[in-house]
Amino acid sequence: MPKEKPELSDAMRAKMNRKLPEKNPIKGTKFTIAISSAKGGVGKSTFATNLALALKKVGSKVGLLDADIYGPSIPKMLGINEKPKSDGQKLDPVVKYDIQCMSIGFLTDQQTPMIWRGPMVTSAIRTFTQKVNWKDLDFIIIDMPPGTGDTQLTFSQEIKMDGAIIVSTPQEVALIDVKRGIKMFDKLGVKVLGLIDNMSYFIGDDNKKYNIFGEGGVKKTAQEFKKEFLGEIPISPDVGKYGDDGKPIVEAHPENEISKIYLMLANKIKSIYLL
């Protein structure tokens, strides 16, 4: 005779029927977009900052969250030297160029190393997403750190991310890590909006185009993974100069050809989210 199935207790039934917890949207925001690369040194923070400014210039309300706990760049790139105000419960973002900003760099000395284990990094990220008074934002841009570790997992698993843009140079050594990053977002169910070929080429004084880091690698990677190729951004000394001065190129010179690329991308992102 077949064995009788054991009767389930009420507690077991409740456990089986329990839904997985939903990802938490960041309060005060509509759409969360991660700027990632999984590789350092490809201009990801520069891209995130200029994209945020471009979105502002095309009429969106924008926040910029520096999620790189070990190497925050946003304070320098936006020329912010002040600490955020707090009521003891929540932090107010620092506002610069009409962008609401938050970074661990606002809370520590510029030269203080963050010698933290993973759980402390995760705690900081939760503070920035749950205990900051983000106000009426259309977009919050997340400047992700390199790699595929604790920060990426916290955002992907706990927070409602509406998309990710992958930034890379065309150099093969960068694309190795980028491919890992794409697979990570796919595995975690985060939509990759597309890939950007950053520092793609340099126009010399002779008006010739020089492909310093190779050519076509990012576009080929986008095709390989069936993702959209969002375009190329050339190298320009002006981009680094204005970033170091705390006034990124989109804010300093919106008529510059590189600024126009960012403005085109901003309009594209607005159209994706019907804003």
Q: To which H or E segment does residue 12 belong?
A: helix 10-17
| 205 or 59, greater pLDDT | 59
Rounded Cα distance, 212 and 226, in Å: 26
Segment 78-86 mean pLDDT: 94
- The answer to whether the CB of 152 falls within 8 A of the CB of 144 is yes
Segment 50-68 mean pLDDT: 97
pLDDT at 7: 55
Decide if pLDDT at 6 tops 80: no
Decide if pLDDT at 5 tops 50: no
Segment 225-254 mean pLDDT: 95
**Distances 24 to 21, 29, 33, 126, 158 between C-alpha atoms, Å:** 9, 11, 14, 11, 6
Rounded Cα distance, 48 and 144, in Å: 9
pTM of the model: 0.87
pLDDT band per the 50, 70, 90 thresholds, residue 20: very low
Decide if pLDDT at 189 tops 60: yes
pLDDT band per the 50, 70, 90 thresholds, residue 16: very low
**Distances 20 to 89, 99, 113, 222 between C-alpha atoms, Å:** 28, 34, 37, 32
* Cβ-proximal residues to 236 (8 Å cutoff; 6+ apart), any chain: 202, 249, 258
Least confident of 24-28, 60-64, 65-69, 253-257: 24-28
Segment 158-181 mean pLDDT: 90
Segment 137-158 mean pLDDT: 86
Amino acid occupying residue 34: A
Decide if pLDDT at 115 tops 80: no
Decide if pLDDT at 218 tops 90: yes
Burial class (CB in 10 A: 0-12, 13-18, 19+), 266: buried
pLDDT at 11: 54
Rounded Cα distance, 159 and 138, in Å: 16
* Cβ-proximal residues to 10 (8 Å cutoff; 6+ apart), any chain: none
Mean predicted lDDT score pLDDT of the chain: 88
pLDDT at 255: 96
pLDDT at 22: 61
Q: In CATH, what is the architecture of 32-272?
A: 3-Layer(aba) Sandwich (3.40)
Q: What share of the chain in percent tops pLDDT 70?
A: 92
Domain ranges of the chain: 32-272
pLDDT band per the 50, 70, 90 thresholds, residue 4: low
Q: What share of the chain in percent tops pLDDT 90?
A: 60
pLDDT at 109: 76
